[in-house]
Every structure is written in structure tokens, then in C-alpha cells.
Structure 1
Amino acid sequence: MKTILINGLYQPCGQLIMGCDHFNQSKFGLASSLLDKFTAMGGNTIDTAFQYGDGESEKTIGKWMHERDNREQVIILTKGAHHDETGHRVNPQSITHDLSISLERLQTDYIDLYALHRDDPNVPVGPIIDILNEHLQAGKIRALGASNWSYQRIQEANDYAQQNGLTGFTFSSTNLSLAKMIVPRWAGCVPADEKTCQWHQSTGMPLLSWSSLGGGFMAGRFSPEHREDEEMVRTYYSEGNWQRLERTRQLAKKKGVPSVQLALAYVLNQPFPTCALVAAYAPEELDSNLAAASLTLTPEEVSWLEFGAE
């Protein structure tokens, strides 16, 4: 599996990241078999979050790592400080609270990739970077990241870090897909638009994309006549997305590969370092994801998929 480098990590990060938001201990056998297959395929990075399944996701991964005794071989990406029913939680107290519990659930004393799950633009970046660096210096975190932060806020935070001799964010996790969101799918989520991608190219900061297939839109699960899923209609039903889906099908047919694999390959063939967070519910889905990760697209093909003929 192809890899990228993220500042702060001791090993390269596989371009496919195993999404585990659906894992729970009641189905530990299935989760374990999927994680076993993923690592056997060369995958080494696993995604979870403090809020996933009320902690079930992190607990399941922690139990699996403990049973396999493979903590040093696995890169854990987890996230914290997501808002709840009380409102925004991007503050030093919530960050420390969530990190402490995540470490306990995962049965580890450090997190490889720790990301703030949402942003609160009303909070100054200074106290956020300060507390993250405290945990970094304590060895509880190896690399700092932001999930669903705008590139402007990430740059602001990194400027503060540089000015104060601290470590800033070394990765971002936002949505990058051929299926472009018309409106945010969930409150506070951030898609990577053209300017965001230009910033990533100029800075070289890795982007770890969630929902790379647009909630199944690029997998061909929907059609203009299929309007029962109101969330998908609201978020993805646009003429531009139908056109990008059709172009993906055309190029996939030409290359002799499934269109869903080509759509995923688009994310992994950007002019800056990228990974794709991919969930799998069955072993064959992992096989398809791995095949997509091996596809190479030219810059011209990537541009055509997104913009069409100029």
C-alpha cells in the first residue's frame, strides 16, 4: 500500500485509513476480522473518535490491539472536542477530558494522530495550541491535526505556533470528494473546495479525507429519480455532481475498472499528500478499496474528472 509522511509520526501512514465509526464490542468478532484483514493487506492506520458509538468504537479497537499485542505497529487517529447538546466544546478543558478518556478506552498511553473534531471560530487559537502542546510534550500525542477546520484557521493556528516556538497542526481531515456538497452534510463539517486544495498544494500539508465517495453518491447508489433520502438530496443532488459521476463512469469503462474505485483513486491522486478514510462492512469491500489505492491517474485525468473539458 502506498504511504505518505506526516510530521510527528515515527512511521509512514498508509493512504487507506480504516474508518471504524460503526464498530462496537457486541460485534467484536466481525470488527477483529476486518482489522486483521486490513493490516494483512498492508494497512496500518485506524480512524475513530471520542464520540463514535458512545465510546464503543475506541473500546473495540483498544481490545483488538491488546489481544493482538500490536500497538507499536498501528497508527491510531482519534478525535475529540466535538460539540454536544450543551454546545461547542473546543476548549482546553474538553480537549483534556476527551483525550484522557480516549487513551483509557484505547488501552494506550499515546495517540499517534490527534485531531480536534470540529472548530469553534469564536475561540482564539492560542489556548488551543497551548493545551495541545502540553499533551504533546507529555508524550500523550505524537501529531496534531484539525478535523473540519477551514484552512484559514489552520494557518492562523500554525502562525501562532511558529511565533511562540510551539508545534502546530501537521495534518487536516476534511471532506474531499468528486461529489461536492451543496450545503454541509452535518453542522460544522467542512468540504475541501478549490481554494482549500490550492492551500494544501502550496503548504504540502496532508489531507485525510472522510466520506471520499460522498456518502455513496460516487458509488452509484443514487439517481436523479431516487429522492427518498432527503439528506442526500439536500447535500449532493446537483447537476455538477451528476456530471462528475458520469465522467467517472466513462473513464472507469475506458480503464476497465469499477467506477467506485476510480472515484476513490481521484482522492488519492492529488498534487499534495492525501489519505482516504474508508469504512468496510465486509472483507470484499476492503479488497475493492485496496485495488482503488493502486490506481494511478494523471493530473489531466484528475482535472477532467472534476472540471470536464475546458
Structure 2
Amino acid sequence: MWCDSVRHEPDDLPEGNGEHDVVAVGHSDLEIFPLALGGNTFGWTADETTSFDILDSFAEGGGNMIDTADSYSAFAPGNSGGESETIIGRWLAHNGLREHVVVATKVSRHPQFRGLAPETIAAASAASLERLQTDRIDLYYAHYDDPDVPLEDSLAAFDELVRNGSVRYLGISNYSPERVREWMSIADARGYARPVALQVQYNLVHHATFERDYAPLAAEFGLAVFPYYSLAAGFLAGKYRTMEDLRGVPREATAAKYLTPAGLEVVDALHEIGAAHDVEPATIALAWLLTRPRITAPLASASRLDQLYSLMDAPSIVLTSSEIHRLDTLSRAVAQ
């Protein structure tokens, strides 16, 4: 672990996460370090050299799950999609770590492979395998629902990928609770491979939807949960306190909505608790997620190597009961 020491008040019982080795991904045989590295920055805010440095350090620190999507980063000027997968593939080919790394990617948003028609899933998965320079995807997500394609047709195509060995396990991202339940119903009725993982937005300032609608589903179906935007587009890293602080940063529009009095109270608490543990606010925000029921591993990304250290510290932090209660209370005051 990156964190050399963890401190807590002797009269306050610690709760939650603490030291971790590996955690299981749902009902699969995948075992991972309890923080997954997001690959959305690779080829966008991190060039290939920087991305390699981040990936090297992540692996050296015990990290073993990398999460990306075939569309990353088509949203960036000059990119066409697949840049992140390409960088990850080159890194895997360079260091020979493929057997030790869990690779997760997604389908439905690449400019050349939009939607979830069966032929699109087949072609997109083949393209991802080529970019990743591997013979299988460990965890393959439906990135977004496609209402124009019958869900049963998409599921048959995903099941075929599992049967032919090019995908080990399936995941669901950005589906409504009703559609998650429908997916499970169809999979059980048809004997298709069941998803093992769920990606949803969840963090200290965006929590209500997950806790109300998705946590019960995850418990019912045994789904591993990987929260994305776990640092609220950087807001919970504690560096943005005014609109001027956000001016010109890549995620300005996303992070700006959290700049409320209630949101800033959360950031203040993260700073104070972080100081007590000698870690960054981001570390505490991730450590809090690891105390939540059903959470397998937060997803977090880095554009610079120095940003990675605060992410990797999170699983080793033991938050006290009073610290957790304080963060829970402040989180509930945020209307999201």
C-alpha cells in the first residue's frame, strides 16, 4: 500500500474497510484489488508515456483491474475512439502482465459501433480485442441501454461471446433498474450468462439514486458494484471551491453542479478527516465508498502520476465510526 501509517482516535471504534488484499467480483472467479483504475484519461488528458507511468505504478502498488470503454476518448478533439484501449493494449504487450490484470471494457458508444444490435456487439468486441492485444475481455459491459434493439437480441449476442471464450463475464452500465431486472429475467429464462457487475454513479454528493434503486438490485442478484464518478469529476479531491477554480478544466461542466453550500461542507469534512489520517481528501472520499454496502471497488482515474497515490491509499484507510457518521450526515444533506 502507498499509505505508510493509518491513525484513528483510540476512543473511537474503527469501522468499514481497513487493509484489503483482494475482493471477489460478484459470483465470478475474478479477484481484484479494491480500487479499479479508470482508463478514460488515457489518450485524452494523459498521453501514452504518462499513461504507461500511471499503469506501471498502479500495478506495482497491487492494483490489477483496469476499466475502459471502446468509445474512450472519442469525445476529445482530434480523437476517434479506441485511444484508451490502444494504450492499454500496448502497455499489456510491453510488460507481459496480461495474466495478472483484469481488463474491463464496454460497448455501445464507439462512433463506428453504436448501439447494441447483435452484429454491432460482435464487431465491436472484435475491434476491442485487437486494440487491447488480447484474446479475451475479462469483464464486458453494455455501456448504455439501446431501446431500439430488443433486449433479448442483445443478450443472445453477449451470451455467444461468453460461450466462444472471447468474453469471460458480463456487466451492466447505465441501465434503469427496470431494465436491469428485465435483463436478469431474460438471462434466467433463456439460460444466458448472467451479468456479475453493475456500474452506477455513486459518491458522497450523488448518492440517492443508487441507495434507493440500485443497491437492492445488487443485493438481490449478487452483483458487484463499481461506482463511477466516485470523486464527482474531481470535486471531491477538494481543489475546486469556486467557479473560477473550475475554469478551463476538462470536467468543468460536470463538477460545477456540486459547488453548493452542502457540497462544500462535504469537501471541508474530507479535508479535516484527511488531515487526521495524513492523506488527501480524495483518499477519504474513496475510503467512505468502501464502507458502503455492496460496493466492490470504486472506479477512479488519474491524469498525472502524482494523482494516483491518493487513490491507491484508500483501501488501507480505517475510518472511525464518528468519521463515517459525519460523512453520512453531510452526504444526506446534498440533494442528489
Shorter-chain TM range is 0.7 to 0.9
Indicate which of 203, 215, 219 corresponds to 2:237: 219
Residue 69 of structure 2 corresponds to residue 42 of structure 1: no
- Work out whether residues 172 and 205 of structure 1, in 8 Å CA contact, stay in contact via their aligned partners in 2: yes
Higher relative contact order (CA 8 A, sep 6+): 2
- Cα shift at 1:225: 5.5
Structure 2 equivalent of residue 236 of structure 1: 258
Q: What letter corresponds to residue 177 of structure 1 in structure 2?
A: N
Aligned to 2:90: 63
- Among 158, 171, 187, the alignment partner of 2:197 is 171
Residue 145 (structure 2) pairs with residue 119 (structure 1): yes
Count of residue pairs the alignment pairs up = 301
- Supply the distance in 2 between the matched residues of 1:286 and 1:234 (Cα, whole angstroms): 23
Q: Residue 252 of structure 1: which of 274, 281, 284 is its match?
A: 274
Contact between 1:212 and 1:264, CA under 8 Å: does it hold in 2?
yes
Structure 1 residue 7, shift from structure 2 partner: 4.5
Deviation at 1:55, TM superposition (A): 1.5
**Distance in 2 (alpha carbons) for counterparts of 1:50 and 1:225:** 32
2:136 aligns to what? 110
Aligned to 1:264: 286
- Among candidates 75, 80, 105, match of residue 107 of structure 2: 80
| Secondary structure in 1 matching 2:210 | coil
Residue 152 of structure 1 aligns with which residue? Answer: 178
Equivalent residue, structure 1, for 2:169:
143
Give the aligned partner of residue 6 of structure 1: 25
Q: Offset of 1:111 from its aligned partner? A: 0.2
Which residue, 270, 279, 283 being the options, matches 2:305?
283
Taking only aligned residues, the RMSD between alpha carbons, in angstroms, comes to 2.9
Aligned to 2:328: 306
- Give the Cα separation in 2 of the matches to 1:158 and 1:122: 19
Q: Distance in 2 between matches of 1:181 and 1:136?
A: 32
Please say which of residues 269-278 and 21-30 is displaced more in the overlay.
21-30
% same residue: 29
| 1:295 alignment partner, one of 317, 321, 334 | 317
Residue 83 of structure 1, CA deviation: 6.6
2:210 aligned residue (186, 192, 213) = 192
Q: Deviations over 1:115-169 (max 9, x none)?
A: 0111134543211211100110000111100121223311210111112222121
Q: Would you say the 8 A contact 1:7–1:143 is kept in 2?
A: no
User: In the alignment, which residue of structure 2 is the partner of 1:18?
Assistant: 37
Unmatched runs of 5 consecutive residues or more in structure 2: 1-19, 74-80
2-structure distance, mates of 1:7, 1:197: 13
- For residues 252 and 136 of structure 1, the distance between their equivalents in structure 2, rounded to whole angstroms, comes to 43
Change (3 A) 1:165 1:27: same
1:51 corresponds to 2:77: no
Which of the numbers 134, 148, 152 marks the counterpart of 2:160? 134
Segments of 5+ residues of structure 1 without an aligned counterpart are 183-190
Question: Deviation at 1:84?
Answer: 4.5
Deviation string, structure 1 residues 43-85 (Cα, Å, up to 9, x no partner): 1111121111322211111111112222111110111112759
Cα pair 1:92 1:131 within 8 Å, conserved: yes
State the one-letter code of the partner of 1:262: I
Q: TM-score, normalised by structure 1?
A: 0.85
How far residue 93 of structure 1 moved from its aligned partner, in angstroms, is: 2.0
The amino acid of 1:241's aligned partner reads G
Q: Does 1:180 align with 2:206?
A: yes
Give the Å deviation of 1:174: 1.7
Q: Any conservation in 2 of the 1:158–1:168 contact (CA below 8 Å)?
A: yes
- Match in the other structure for 1:188: none
SS at match of 1:223: coil
SS class of match (2:172): strand
**Of 273-282 and 219-228, the range deviating more from structure 2:** 219-228
